[in-house]
Chain A
Amino acid sequence: MARRTIPPISIVRHPIYNMLLPVPVVCFIAALLTDWTYLASNGNRQWVNFSTWLLAAGLVFGAVSILVLMVDLIRGVAANRGLGWATFLLLLAAWIVEFINSLVHARDGWTAVAGAGLVLSIVGALLIAIAGWLSRDALELVP
């Protein structure tokens, strides 16, 4: 079996990026679902509160994932450099979209989600799902 020469940042051979990335993926996708449920429930505030916390968690862990990925890419970890940076850009785009989304979601009441909030949630969830998918091909997994 051929081995990659440059391993990604890892803890006991578990790459940190691969461990972190699922968190924003789950959070941003889940936030879309809670947004949709909020609208469907005609404004039951528990759902939009859920969304805001999911977005916050996704942004925090997403930021760390982006940093780790950037370091990995610069160090030349990617099996496919082009795909690696494409993944990075998608991840960054998802983060920016969801950051703006979190500001919209901070509004009081219905307009936190209806309109811009839902659209941004859809876009952000799509972007991070694609980024997650591409991650696997861009960064080869050892061994």
Chain B
Amino acid sequence: MMRQLAISAALLVLAGCRNSQASIDPLEQTGPKPVLPEPTEGLIAAVGVPQVVGWKQGETPTVPSGFRIEAMATGLSNPRTVYPLPNGDILVVEGKRVGSEPVDRPKDPVRRFIMSLAHGGGGAKSSGPAAGPPQRITLLRDANGDGKVELKSILVDHLNSPFGIAVVGNELYVANTDAVLRYPFTSGQTAISSPPQRVVELPGGLIDHHWTKSLTASPDGSKLYAGVGSNSNVQERGPEAETNRAAVWEIDPRTGAYRVFASGLRNPNGLTFYPGSNTLWTVVNERDEIGPNLVPDYMTSVRPGGFYGWPYSYYGQHVDKRVRPQRPDLVAKAIPPDYALSSHVAALGLAFYTGSSFPAGFRGGAFVGEHGSWNRTAYNGYRVVFIRFAGGRPVGKPMNFVVGFIGPDGKARGRPVGVAVDRTGALIIADDVGNTVWRVSYSGDAKAR
């Protein structure tokens, strides 16, 4: 805490008095019309990265009264995505970035060091095995739905920075950072020994700035959708590095043919179809370094052929003057997103509530896993929020649903990433630096929302 305070204080002094954005309440930046201040660039980008200390025995995040949260599995290795199956098994994708970005300018090694602090490096303790990254899918079996795992096995190993997965029929699709793979898989299996087939290559490469490739299948299983994040913050690595990136791809799983389904989405994750519809939704991490309150991350429906602004503009027609040459023609057709989540929360997970064990007010609403901020001195995110939906559209303000990932001492015990709803209607959460999969169930007693 002291070290982090000292670093922040020094940076603030150097940055000078420029923080006219300081007084914005994050809630004013949620919903369809967020408050968007003027961009400010100080001498040094604001950085606030909590030290990672992991969960102590018995320590858990906090949920509203009437709910309970327990650790389903601990000692995992950077779990990022959770995928519950109809038979009660839960697939957990454990993956990390391999290698670091090539150095383009002196800023890069500095930035890399700061990011490593945020992900539990730099001497911080974590509650799981520390060593170099497993790149695998672990299967958790909880046959009787009581939240206790009877069996834990490695389903698939030796992947390449996997993130998104989808099961369609008797096939498991895995989105590595550089390709979508297909494995034969039947419900009940605990390990896959067959080699995969490569469906299609995804943009990876040496830089691979936003390496997570989210994946989902259309409701009828005929198409796959992959989220491909940008290769830079605001195209500062040049437009050549961004070919087919900052986009959602639509992939034919049989032929591997693909097209860019929607573009201008800086880092789209949590791809999910709204239950009972053909509308694809995503959560997007917007750009950095123009102030602690710009640009709010968002959740949005994805229109086929839609362009959402990156890198030239955000929230429709707000031009980012850092990008040259400018493209006023693209800015003019940029679609503003549906629902802002406030700035730098790093929304990575999205799941619509399809269960029936939570109070009725949760039905059809969205849970968003907010990994947490680095580009602010006052932390934002580091929680799971809930947003009510009515008529297939988000309404109202987000509600903090799972908090306590940062303790009262300002240190991070964990950071939520992917969220999903299991067959008992419990909410499953992947906590990467806490190396834990959490399960939130409703035990009654509180009045329904």
Contacts and interface: CB of A to CB of B under 8 A. Distances in A.
B289 interface: yes
A102 B106 contact: yes
Contact of B234 (A56, A103, A108): A108
Contact of B106 (A104, A106, A111): A106
A108 B288 CA distance: 9
A127 B43 CA distance: 21
A37 interface: no
B234 to A, nearest CB: 5
A126 B321 CA distance: 28
19 contacts: A45-B238, A49-B104, A52-B105, A52-B106, A52-B107, A103-B43, A103-B44, A104-B43, A106-B105, A107-B41, A107-B322, A108-B232, A108-B234, A108-B236, A108-B322, A109-B234, A109-B322, A109-B323, A111-B321
B324 A43 contact: yes
Interface residues of A, number: 17
A42 interface: yes
A102 B105 CA distance: 11
Contacts of B238: 45
Nearest to A55: B106
B38 to A, nearest CB: 13
B169 interface: no
B62 interface: no
A111 B322 CA distance: 5
Interface residues of B, number: 22
Contact of A110 (B43, B232, B233, B324): B324
Tell me whether chain B's interface is mostly helix, strand or loop, or mixed.
loop
Contacts of A52: 105-107
A126 B234 CA distance: 32
Contacts of A103: 14, 43-44
B123 interface: no
B237 interface: yes
B227 to A, nearest CB: 22
Contact of B325 (A42, A49, A100): A42
B235 interface: yes
Most chain B beta carbons < 10 A, residue from A42, A56, A108: A108
Interface string A83-117: 00000000000000000101110111111000000
Nearest to A99: B43
A45 B237 contact: yes
Contacts of B235: 109
A103 to B, nearest CB: 4
Contacts of A106: 44, 105-107
